[in-house]
Amino acid sequence: MSDSNGSARGASSRRGAPPPDISELVRVEDRISFLYFEHCKVNRSDNAITVTDEEGTIYVPSARLSVLMLGPGATVTHDAMTVIGESGASVIWVGERGVRMYAFGSPLTHSSALLQRQAKLVSNTRSRLAVARRMYAMRFPGEDVSGLTMQQLRGREGARIRKVYKECSEKTGVFWDKRTYNPDDFDEGTEINQALSAAHACMYGLAHAAIVAMGCSPGLGFVHTGHERSFVYDVADLYKAEISIPVAFETVAEFPVDVGAETRRKMRDAVYSLEIMPRMVGDIKSLLLETEDAECVDPSIDHVGLWDEKVGEVPAGKSYREG
C-alpha cells in the first residue's frame, strides 16, 4: 500500500471538525517529509487523514504532513482534500510511478511579505541575476561566482553535474551513459534513469511544499523561467547532487524488484537524515531576504492593507471618500 509503517483501525470519519488555526500548525521544516500511497482510498477522520486498502487503515495527522504523494489506483475524498488544504500540505498525484506530477497546497502563512519580495527581485534584471548567482554559489562553496554571466554559470553547473554522475557511477558500479527518459512511459528508460526520475519527483514535491507553505510563488523562478513550477526547479536543483542523484545510483546498485518504490523509500530516509526540509526553508529565506529581515516574516500575522502609489499602503476596512 505505502512506503510507510504502522496501522490503526476504528474511529469513523467525522465531518465538520473545525479547521486548525495557522498558529497551531506545525512549521514546514518540522513536518513529515513525504508519504507515498497507491491503490488505496484516502479519507478524513477529524483533523487526520485515513488511508485504507485491503491490508487495513492507517491514520496520518494532517498538520504534520508536508507532502502526500498519490500513485496509480489511489482515490481521495472531498473531506480529505479539505483538511489537507486547511493544514497547508501539498498533494501530488504521480502517474506512471512518479514521472508526472500534479500539485496542490495552501500556505502556512497569512503574510505575503516573502511573495512580494520574490516578485520584486525577479522583476528586476540586476536583482534577479544576483539571486541566481547566490543559487549557483551554494553549489560551488569557496568559489567566487559574483562576476560570472548566466551562460558561464550554466556551463560550470553542467560540468559539475556530469562529474557527479561519473563519480556515482564509479562508486556504485552502475553503468552511466546519459540522462534520457520518456515522461509518458516510465518503463521505457533504463533502471538508473527510472530511479533518477523517481528521486527527482520526490525532490520536486518537497521543494513545492516548502515554497507554497512559506507563501512564495512556485512559478517565479530565477534560473528557470516560463513554467508554473520554475522556482520549484530552482530550489530542487540545489540538492540533487547531494541527495537524489546519489540515492538513485545506490538504489539501482542493489538490484531492487521495484526501482521506483525502493528509490522513494531511500529518498524518504535521506531527506530525514540530512534534515532537508529545515535547510530548504532557511535557504529560501536567505535567497529572498536580507539577513536582518530573515526573522521578520511572522506567519501568524493576518494583515490586509490597501496599496497607495504615494505612501505605499493605507489601512483597509475603512471608508475613503473625496473631500
313 is in an annotated binding site: no
Judged by phi (left if over 0) then psi (alpha if -120 to 50, else beta), residue 56 lies in left
Asked if residue 234 belongs to a known ligand binding site, the reply is: no
Helices 276-288 and 125-139: crossing angle in degrees, nearest 10, is 150
DSSP β-bridge partners for residue 41: 52, 75
Rounded distance, CA 303 to CA 264, Å?
A: 39
The string over 235-266, giving b where at least 16 C-beta atoms fall within 10 Å of a residue's C-beta and e elsewhere, is: bbbbbbbebbbbbbbbbbbeebeebbbbbbbb
Q: Is 54 annotated as a binding residue?
A: no
- At a CB cut-off of 8 Å and minimum separation 6, what does 212 contact? 88, 90, 103, 105, 106, 107, 218
Residue 74, C-beta contacts closer than 8 angstroms, at least 6 positions apart: 37, 38, 39, 40, 41, 42, 93
Indicate the annotated binding residues. 157, 224, 237
Annotated binding site for Mn(2+), which residues?
157, 224, 237
